[in-house]
Amino acid sequence: MTCFFVTDLHGKIDRYKKLFDKIEREKPSAVFLGGDLLPSGLQSLVSEDDLSDDFIEDIIKKGFINLKNKLKEKYPRVFLILGNDDGKADEQTFIEIENEGLWEYVHSKKVEFEEFLIFGYSYVPPTPFLLKDWERYDVSRYVDPGCVPPTEGYHSITEKKDVWEYSTIKEDLQILTQNEDLSKAIFLFHSPPYKTKLDRAALDGIMIDHAPLDVHVGSIAIERFIKTRQPLITLHGHIHESTSLTGSWHEKIGNTICINGAHDGKELSLVKFDPTKPENIRREIL
């Protein structure tokens, strides 16, 4: 049962073409897309052009329609979430296209895949970036030096301020999973877990107000969640340079295999895994 995982494509058409070509030739059982799929969400807010909608329709949707027409019964299950660089205003478009049978939008959802459970979760802890659609406080309302709280910055949709001000990743994950047995669960996250080989940012030696910045920028809540709940596999992105800095794109936390699919080069990083043999993972740079 071969599965593909890609993330942080950031609207690069050549990466999508390589992905579609690989799907057509190798016919995986499932494809996971881990967010930051579109050209910059902030750009869509300040531009008069409807860049994101065009990209979804003309590149992503048409690409998967073409695959479905070619592969027919061999067409894979496609699971996707958005990331912090994707405008939340585009979420509804992905949900509408889901109804056409091209993919399954799994943010804050649980779906079944063979004998496995799939969970999706897009939010990341506060960042220095100004688009705040997919940011949450992590385990408390603490914000790292240099980062902007979720209540500030830009939002592409209107939500109640209480949601931005009081929600946390920790509470979201508790609500999403309840008392589920996660031993055969695959989690599609955008944020990596904190203080691992997957969340290392290039912040060495940088100070703000005489305080050194933490070079680990992943989610404490996600790291604790993995340690305590032990899902089978977790898929992550967000921090492009982490693999270059640590030399590792995967890590084991207890019995959980954690995978970083992000890449700091121009190529496509394609991770292949078999959930029935979770330690047999490999990565191709295309």
Lowest mean pLDDT among 114-128, 197-211, 272-286: 197-211
Region 80-106 average pLDDT: 96
pLDDT tens digit sequence for 18-74: 999 999 999 999 999 999 999 975 555 554 444 445 899 999 999 999 999 999 999
On whether the CB atoms of residues 222 and 194 are closer than 8 A, the answer is yes
Lowest mean pLDDT among 45-49, 100-104, 137-141, 164-168: 45-49
Q: Collapse the DSSP code of 246 into the 3-class scheme (helix H, G, I; strand E, B; otherwise coil) and give the result.
A: helix
What pLDDT does 209 receive?
82
Region 147-171 average pLDDT: 87
Structural domains of the chain sorted by starting position, each given as residue range(s) with its CATH number in brackets: 3-285 (3.60.21.10)
- Spatial separation of the C-alpha atoms in residues 264 and 276, rounded to whole Å: 29
The one-character DSSP state at 62 is: H
- Spatial separation of the C-alpha atoms in residues 14 and 263, rounded to whole Å: 14
To the nearest whole percent, how much of the chain has pLDDT over 90? 86
On whether the CB atoms of residues 134 and 190 are closer than 8 A, the answer is yes
Mean pLDDT taken over the chain: 93
Nearest to 123 by CA among 139, 110, 107: 107
pLDDT of 270 higher than 50: yes
- Spatial separation of the C-alpha atoms in residues 249 and 251, rounded to whole Å: 7
Region 137-141 average pLDDT: 96
pLDDT tens digit sequence for 171-228: 999 999 999 999 999 999 999 999 999 999 999 999 988 888 999 999 999 999 999 9
Region 278-285 average pLDDT: 96
Q: How confident is the model at residue 130 (pLDDT cuts 50, 70, 90)?
A: very high
- Spatial separation of the C-alpha atoms in residues 205 and 81, rounded to whole Å: 33
What pLDDT does 41 receive?
56
Q: What is the pTM of this model?
A: 0.94
- H/E element holding 86? none
Q: Collapse the DSSP code of 9 into the 3-class scheme (helix H, G, I; strand E, B; otherwise coil) and give the result.
A: coil
**DSSP assignments along 133-191, one per residue:** TTB-B-SSS---TT---TTSSB-SS---HHHHHH-BHHHHHHHHHTT---TTEEEEESS
Q: Which residues contact 252 (CB under 8 A, 6 or more apart)?
A: 258
Phi, psi of 86 (to 5 degrees): -100, 130
